Amino acid sequence: MKDSIRHLIQQALTRLTAEGVLPAGLSPVIQVENTKDKSNGDFASNIALMLAKPAGLKPRELAEKLVAALPADSQVSKVEIAGPGFLNFFQNSDALAQRLEAALADPRLGVRKNGVAQRVVVDLSSPNLAKEMHVGHLRSTIIGDGVARVLEFLGDSVIRQNHVGDWGTQFGMLLAYLEENPAAAESGLADLEQFYRAAKQRFDESENFAVRARELVVQLQAGDANCLRLWQRFNDISLSHCQKVYDRLGVKLSMADVKGESAYNDQLADIVEALRDKGLLSESDGAQCVFMDEFKNAEGNPLPVIVQKAGGGYLYATTDLAAMRYRSQVLHADRALYFVDQRQALHFQMVFEVARRAGFVHAGMQLEHMGFGTMNGADGRPFKTRDGGTVKLVDLLDEAEERAYALVKSKNPQLDDSELRQIGHAVGIGAVKYADLSKHRSSDYSFNFEQMLSFEGNTAPYLLYAYTRVASVFRKLGKDFAEVGGQIQLGAAQEIDLATRLAQFGEVLNNVADKGTPHTLCSYLYDLAGLFSSFYEHCPILAAEDESVRNSRLRLAALTGRTLKQGLELLGLQPLERM
Ligand code: ARG
């Protein structure tokens, strides 16, 4: 609806420009907001206030001319001028009801993508292997998965790429440790985390060990068969561990989505050559670098993108350039989204620019770093175990499920244990995911079990419960969402408020897709659940006397149920019929 109003205003502006009322060449951002007080209509715009000055008119005068120039539209019943010159739009509730009817009749709830469908690479999760996944990997995995699902729902074809770090110096350390302790092979690989820690300790305490570790990396990268075999085992174990976490989280990632750093090995020399051919390379202390004028440090000295070290080794940036070229030339992506820690922002700005200058990506390809902040503990400090170690993801998820199970059991002691376990899983995992999804990704966030498992506020338990309330109406009725006849008619204020928000689902999803911000979908669902509550309180559904009113309310409830369910699924949560 806001988009339609923006479009109407745009047409009025074009007309007034043609008539000479407005100077040519203005391209204002047209703002349309929801009104707080419905006596001011449903939507308001300050456009006349913004453009009064360039038009040389008083805002109210311009507002009058705009109202006169607005094309008629069946969705708008009237437009009023308020205060200093706001335009207040009143929506036509019959037209709104018809839109909701169309959404009910559509498996995709009337949602359309703004613009054409694209091929989108989503770079997500991408942990460094040889260690178990830890909490630091959660955000990329969960937020990336949510956005990928929304893109798919809107009709984009999404290619997930798990750009795992499977080729770094950490492997030299592991290989050196294995060489020292051949017996550790069997027992050690069962607990990679422990193995990694032991190797790291040796690396830090012994210079000889560190030297050997570096030698082994070189051997590995040179293709030594024995090193490669052991490296492969580390990776297999590590990846199968990741896959378990993905499955448990209900994240849509499989082994087929893994395209790690090592996959680009044989292209790295060529990347450096291509940069040289383009005249982009300079040598600095023996290293091959790209310098660009717009990237300087605080002292004003140019910052390099190093693509080859003095010793010949390639770097993280080189692999990313190769990956971009592959995503453009082989995967034919129109857009690539990188869900990676905000601290890598400069890295991405720089490699994106190098890729453009070198022609590694086609001119129209959108490259976007979807950065996110750090996940902290409840005390706001970096997340650590009591003794200062990194928290294992598995332990965290175990605790979430256990707490959720206890919580649900305390509310529903009569349910049998296997159902309680199932609900505990959906609520516990859902709570961890939702807590992450519901904050703006670029801010840091504090992980707090009490908060995320609360039934009040913008949480997974609250939303999952809200859905079960809608479902229970239909359970009592003995019908499912699709089985109610009649038609939506909007009368009561609570009906209109709920209906207005329901009609915004598509707009919200498009916004998530454009900006990579699932938190806006979370707030939308939270709002919707609240509006449904007031509707439910004020407008009797099953007890409504008049059959056409009862049907209308049931249809509104059905659309609310389907929208909540779809929304939760897009966030990667598992809606429950009861809890
Ligand atoms: N493995 C990297 C890390 O843990 C993240 C990789 C992100 N993706 C990329 N194309 N650089 O920091």
Shared-domain flag, residues 176 and 226: yes
Ligand 1 contact, 163 CB (< 6 A): yes
pLDDT average, residue stretch 347-356: 98
Residues 295 and 399 in one domain: no
Q: Burial level of 199, CB count in 10 A (0-12/13-18/19+)? A: buried
Ligand 1 contacts CB of residue 123 (under 6 A): yes
DSSP string, 239-308: HHHHHHHHHHHT----GGGB--GGGGGGGHHHHHHHHHHTT-EEEETTEEEEEEEEEE-TTSPEEEEEEE
Report, as an integer, the average pLDDT of 564-572.
Answer: 98
In the numeric block, the tokens 């047409």 are attached to 11
Check residue 378 and give its pLDDT: 78
| Overall average pLDDT of the 417-436 stretch | 96
Please check whether residue 575 lies inside any domain of the structure.
Answer: no
Ligand 1 proximity of 126 Cβ (cutoff 6 Å): yes
Q: Report the largest interatomic distance among the alpha carbons of the chain, rounded to a whole angstrom.
A: 86
- Identify whether 97 is part of a domain: no
pLDDT of 188 reads 65
Per-residue tokens: 53 = 């000055």
Q: How many domains does the chain have?
A: 5
Binding site membership of 165 for ligand 1 (Cβ less than 6 Å): yes
Separation of alpha carbons 452 and 430, rounded Å: 9
Q: Which residues pair with 157 in a beta bridge?
A: 119
Distance 336 CA to ligand 1 centre (A): 14
For residue 207, pLDDT over 70 is answered with: yes
Write the CB contacts of 301 (distance below 8 Å, at least 6 apart in sequence): none
If one residue of 123, 126, 166 were mutated to test the ligand 1 pocket, choosing by the most ligand atoms within 8 A of its CB, it would be: 126
The preferred substitution site among 138, 160, 161, 163 for testing ligand 1, maximizing ligand atoms within 8 Å of CB, is 163
- In this prediction, residues 161-176 reach a mean pLDDT of 91
Q: pLDDT tens-digit profile of 81-93?
A: 999 999 999 988 8
Angstrom distance (rounded) from CA 528 to CA 93: 18
Q: Are residues 249 and 268 in the same domain?
A: no
Of 121-135, 182-196, 369-383, 412-426, give the range with the top mean pLDDT.
412-426
Q: What are residue 20's phi and psi, to 5 degrees?
A: 85, 5
Mean pLDDT of 442-448: 89
Mutate to test the pocket of ligand 1, among 131, 340, 367 (most ligand atoms within 8 A of CB): 340
CATH number at residue 40: 3.30.1360.70
What is the CA(101)–ligand 1 centre distance, in A? Answer: 45
Contact between residue 347 and residue 316 where contact means Cβ atoms under 8 Å apart: yes
Q: What is the CATH number of the domain that holds 140?
A: 3.40.50.620
Q: Is the pLDDT of residue 406 over 70?
A: yes
Residue 64, pLDDT score: 94
Mean pLDDT (whole number) for 207-223: 91
Q: What is the mean pLDDT of residues 9-33?
A: 91
Could you tell me if residue 388 is inside a domain? no
Centre of ligand 1 to C-alpha 126, Å, is 5
Mean pLDDT of the chain: 93
Contact criterion met (CB below 8 Å) for 493 and 38: yes
Looking at the fold, whether 173 and 132 belong to one and the same domain comes out as no
Q: For residues 474 and 545, state if they share a domain.
A: yes
Question: Between residues 572 and 391, which one has the greater pLDDT?
Answer: 572
Q: What is the tens place of the pLDDT at every residue in 478-501?
A: 999 989 999 999 989 899 999 999
**Dist. CA 508 → ligand 1 center (Å):** 29
Whether residue 110 is contained in a domain is answered as: no
pLDDT tens for 47-70 read 999 999 999 999 999 999 999 999
* One domain for residues 428 and 398: yes
In this structure, of 163-167, 221-225, 520-524, 555-559, the range with the lowest mean pLDDT score is 221-225
Task: Tell whether 461 is covered by a domain.
Answer: no
- Is residue 383 domain-resident? no
Mean pLDDT in residue range 7-20: 93
Is the confidence at residue 72, as pLDDT, over 80? yes
- Last residue within a domain, chosen from 68, 91, 114: 91
- Specify whether the CB–CB gap between 163 and 261 falls below 8 A: yes
**pLDDT (mean) for 557-573:** 98
Whether 157 and 197 map to the same domain: the answer is no
Q: What is the pLDDT of residue 377?
A: 84
* pLDDT value, residue 189: 64
Residue of minimum CA distance from atom 8 in ligand 1: 163
- Extended beta strands in 117-194, E state: 119-123, 157-161
Mark whether 266 and 360 lie in a shared domain.
yes
Give the residue-averaged pLDDT of 167-174. 87
pLDDT at res. 39: 83
Instruction: Assess if residue 113 is contained within a domain.
Output: no
Instruction: Give the pTM.
Output: 0.90
CATH (domain of 524) = 1.10.730.10
Probe ligand 1: pick from 321, 344, 351, 354, max atoms within 8 Å of CB?
A: 344
Q: Are residues 210 and 143 in the same domain?
A: no
For residue 579, is it within any domain? no
Please indicate, yes or no, whether residues 279 and 362 belong to a single structural domain of this protein. Answer: yes
% of the chain with per-residue pLDDT over 90: 78
Mark whether 351 and 276 lie in a shared domain. Answer: yes
Confidence class for position 316, pLDDT limits 50, 70, 90: very high
pLDDT at residue 393, rounded to an integer: 84
Q: Which of 122-131, 266-275, 504-513, 562-571 has the lowest mean pLDDT?
A: 122-131
Tokens representing 398 are 């175990």
Within this chain, do residues 189 and 265 fall inside the same structural domain, yes or no?
no
Q: Which residues pair with 376 in a beta bridge?
A: 382, 446
Domain range for 448 is 393-452
Q: What is the pLDDT of residue 91?
A: 87
Q: Whose CA is nearest to atom 9 of ligand 1?
A: 163
Return the half-sphere exposure (C-beta side, CA atoms, 13 A cut-off) of residue 489.
10
Q: Is residue 344 classed as helix, strand or coil in its secondary structure?
A: helix
The CB of 131 under 6 Å from ligand 1? The reply is no
Q: Please, which residues have CB within 8 angstroms of residue 542's CB and are 6 or more apart in sequence?
A: 473, 476, 477, 550
